């Protein structure tokens, strides 16, 4: 018997227990509590598949968010055994004792059970940091876009990989203390535009947006954001890049 086949047999036979936080803030009868669900694990099962399994076979009332099932939309972030992660990119086989506890991501508005509203906050953040190219140049769409150095384009595209999952905020102690803290997602968004030569904003302009304790000076460099970001973005390097720029603004 080859090793993979043997492993699949073990996994297929296993029963796992998901202990899930249940609460509906819009229902006066509802009280926060945990509920256990026992399911049979299948090979390659992700937490997303486990939750769908529970939803379709055991409990139609369970709420959680997902769209893409591929680590792209950022909807399925939740706290898994104490750490914020994407449900669709987490294999149940990682948990050798078969016990998995799920909670909604903190610091966002709770909708129900594992479902939270990240969109309202992300939208407000995008507006606050003016998350778009600022240029006085008239764009002529019949012409090719102004070229930039490939290394610079790579740096910008790397930061554009952010999926706005909110995990960096859920991992951040400053965010717990300061409701309006922009977090890694907001600060690194400003770095994305500061690096992009299409954007004509100066360091003074960025200082107006992030030069306070709700912005760049609120970060305590505890690295929780970088430890948990599912896209492995270089969050602390780019926050440090913006901090260096901002301390030089008189």
Question: Minimum distance from CB of 87 to ligand FES (Å)?
Answer: 6
Write each residue from 82 to 101 as x if it is in contact with ligand FES (CB under 6 A), else as -, in one continuous string.
Answer: ----x-x-------------
Size of the site for ligand SF4 (CB under 6 A): 15
In residues, how long is the chain? 250
Structure token digits, residue 199: 């954007």
Beta-carbon contacts of residue 141 (< 8 Å; ≥ 6 apart) = none
Write each residue from 200 to 229 as x if it is in contact with ligand SF4 (CB under 6 A), else as -, in one continuous string.
Answer: -----------------------------x
| Burial of 178 (C-beta count, 10 Å sphere; 0-12/13-18/19+) | middle
- Which partner in ligand FES, ligand SF4, none is near 184 (CB below 5 to 8 A by kind)? ligand SF4
Structure token digits, residue 132: 């778009």
Write down the H helix ranges in the chain: 3-12, 47-57, 119-128, 150-160, 167-170, 173-177, 183-195, 203-210, 224-228, 235-247
Question: Minimum distance from CB of 84 to ligand SF4 (Å)?
Answer: 8
Can you tell me which of 14, 71, 111, 201 binds ligand FES, judged by CB under 6 A?
71
Residues that bind ligand SF4 (CB under 6 A): 162-168, 184-185, 188, 229-231, 233, 235
């Amino acid at each position: 018997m080859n090793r993979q086949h043997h492993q699949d047999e073990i996994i297929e036979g296993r029963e796992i227990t998901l202990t899930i936080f249940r609460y509906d803030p819009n229902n006066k009868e509802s009280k926060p509590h945990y509920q256990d669900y026992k399911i049979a694990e299948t090979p390659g099962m992700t937490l997303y598949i486990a939750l769908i399994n529970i939803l379709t076979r055991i409990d139609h009332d369970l709420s959680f968010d997902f769209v893409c099932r591929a680590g792209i939309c950022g909807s399925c972030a939740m706290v898994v055994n104490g750490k914020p992660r994407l449900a669709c990119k987490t294999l149940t086989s990682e948990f050798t004792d078969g016990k998995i506890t799920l909670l909604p991501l903190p610091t966002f508005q709770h909708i129900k059970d594992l479902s939270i509203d990240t969109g309202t906050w992300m939208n407000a953040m995008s507006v606050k940091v003016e998350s778009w190219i600022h240029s006085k140049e008239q764009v002529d769409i019949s012409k090719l876009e102004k070229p930039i150095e490939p290394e610079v384009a790579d740096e910008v595209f790397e930061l554009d990989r952010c999926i706005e999952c909110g995990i960096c905020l859920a991992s951040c102690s400053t965010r717990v203390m300061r409701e309006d803290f922009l977090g890694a997602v907001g600060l690194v968004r400003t770095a994305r535009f500061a690096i992009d030569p299409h954007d004509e904003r100066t360091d003074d302009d960025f200082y107006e947006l992030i030069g306070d304790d709700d912005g760049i000076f609120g970060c305590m460099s505890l690295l929780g954001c970088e430890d948990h970001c599912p896209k492995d973005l270089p969050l602390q390097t780019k926050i440090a890049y913006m901090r260096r720029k901002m301390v030089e603004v008189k």
